[in-house]
C-alpha cells in the first residue's frame, strides 16, 4: 500500500537516450538487480514533475525498469493554463512525441533481460495516456500492457494492438466523458483486447498525484496496487 512518508528514490536519474539522429532526456529507475521488465511512463500536461519521477522509482522497487521520457524537454508547471498551452503545442508535434516514445522503448530494450525479444508496458497519465493509446497500436508487437490514468480516446485502431489494457477513471472528471471511455473500451473489446476498467468513487481528475489538491489517498493506493499486479501479470 502507498504511504507517502515512507517511500523514496531507489537510484533513479536523468539521462539522455538516442532519438533518430539526436537525443532526448528522460528519467530512468533501475531495480536493485539492475534489470527487469520495462515500463515507459508518460507524464501528463504538467511535464516530468516529481510525482512521475517518484512513480518510476516505485516501479523499480517492484522489479521493473522504468523510463519516463521528458516530452517537454525540461519545462514543467503547476498552472493549468500554462499546462494546457504546453500540452496543446506538443499534441501538434506528433513526430516529436512519437519519436521520443519510440526512443524510450528502444532504450528499455537495452536494459531488459530478454533483450529485443522482451515486450514492455506503457503507463500514461491524462495527456500521456492518449499517447500510450496511440503507441500501443503503432508499436503493437512491442507493447504487452497499457495502464491509463484518467484518459480515454476511441480513435486508435485497437484491432492492430496486442496489449492488455487497465483503465483508472475518476468519478467526477470534467476532462473525460464517460461516454467516450465506454466507446473506447467497446472498441478495444471488439478488437479482441483484454480490458479492465475501474472508476473510483469520490475522486476527480489528478486523484493519483500527491502534489495536487485533487489527490485521494485511498483511491491512489488502490490504483497503485492494481497497476503493480497488472504489470506483473502481463510482463512476468
- Average the pLDDT over 197-221 and give the result: 96
Sole residue written with cell 472528471: 173
Which pLDDT band holds residue 178 (cuts at 50, 70, 90)? confident
- Indicate the pLDDT class of residue 154, thresholds 50, 70 and 90: confident
Q: How confident is the model at residue 115, as a pLDDT?
A: 52
Whether 188 shows a pLDDT value over 70: the answer reads yes
Average the pLDDT over each of 10-19, 52-61, 152-161 and give the range with the smallest value: 10-19
| Every domain of the chain and the residues it spans | 44-235
Confidence grade of residue 73 (pLDDT, cut at 50, 70, 90):
very high
How confident is the model over 34-50, as pLDDT tens digits?
889 999 999 999 999 99
In angstroms, the CA 105 to CA 230 distance is: 19
Task: Compute the CA torsion angle 106, 108, 110, 116 (nearest 10 deg).
Answer: -60
Candidate from 70-79, 153-162, 195-204 with smallest mean pLDDT? 153-162
190-205: average pLDDT: 97
Per-residue pLDDT reduced to its tens digit, 6-37: 334 446 999 999 998 999 999 999 998 888 99
Res 22: pLDDT:
95
- Model-wide pTM > 0.75: yes
Q: What is the CATH number of domain 44-235?
A: 3.40.50.1820
What pLDDT does 236 receive? 79
Contact 133, 148 (CB under 8 A): yes
Give the model confidence (pLDDT) of 89-115 as tens digits.
Answer: 999 999 999 999 999 999 999 887 555
pLDDT digits (tens, 9 = 90+) for 108-135: 998 875 554 578 999 999 999 999 999 9
Amino acid at each position: 500500500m502507498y504511504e507517502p512518508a515512507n517511500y523514496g528514490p531507489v537510484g533513479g536519474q536523468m539521462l539522455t537516450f538516442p532519438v533518430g539522429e539526436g537525443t532526448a532526456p528522460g528519467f530512468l529507475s533501475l531495480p536493485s538487480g539492475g534489470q527487469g521488465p520495462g515500463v515507459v511512463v508518460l507524464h501528463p500536461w504538467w511535464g516530468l514533475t516529481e510525482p512521475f519521477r517518484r512513480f518510476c522509482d516505485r516501479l523499480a522497487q517492484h522489479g521493473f525498469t522504468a523510463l519516463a521520457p521528458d516530452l517537454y524537454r525540461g519545462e514543467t508547471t503547476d498552472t493549468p493554463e500554462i499546462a494546457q498551452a504546453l500540452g496543446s503545442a506538443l499534441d501538434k508535434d506528433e513526430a516529436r512525441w512519437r519519436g521520443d516514445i519510440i526512443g524510450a522503448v528502444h532504450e528499455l530494450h537495452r536494459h531488459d533481460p530478454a533483450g529485443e525479444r522482451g515486450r514492455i508496458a506503457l503507463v500514461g497519465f491524462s495527456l500521456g495516456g492518449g499517447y500510450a493509446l496511440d503507441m500501443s497500436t503503432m508499436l503493437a508487437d512491442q507493447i504487452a500492457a497499457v495502464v491509463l490514468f484518467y484518459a480515454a480516446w476511441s480513435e486508435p485502431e485497437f484491432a492492430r494492438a496486442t496489449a492488455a489494457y487497465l483503465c483508472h477513471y475518476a468519478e467526477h472528471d470534467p476532462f473525460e466523458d464517460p461516454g467516450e471511455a465506454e466507446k473506447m473500451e467497446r472498441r478495444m473489446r471488439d478488437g479482441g483486447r483484454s480490458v479492465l476498467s475501474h472508476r473510483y468513487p469520490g475522486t476527480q481528475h489528478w486523484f493519483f498525484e500527491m502534489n495536487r489538491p485533487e489527490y485521494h489517498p485511498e483511491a491512489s493506493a488502490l490504483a497503485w496496487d492494481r497497476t503493480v499486479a497488472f504489470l506483473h501479470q502481463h510482463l512476468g
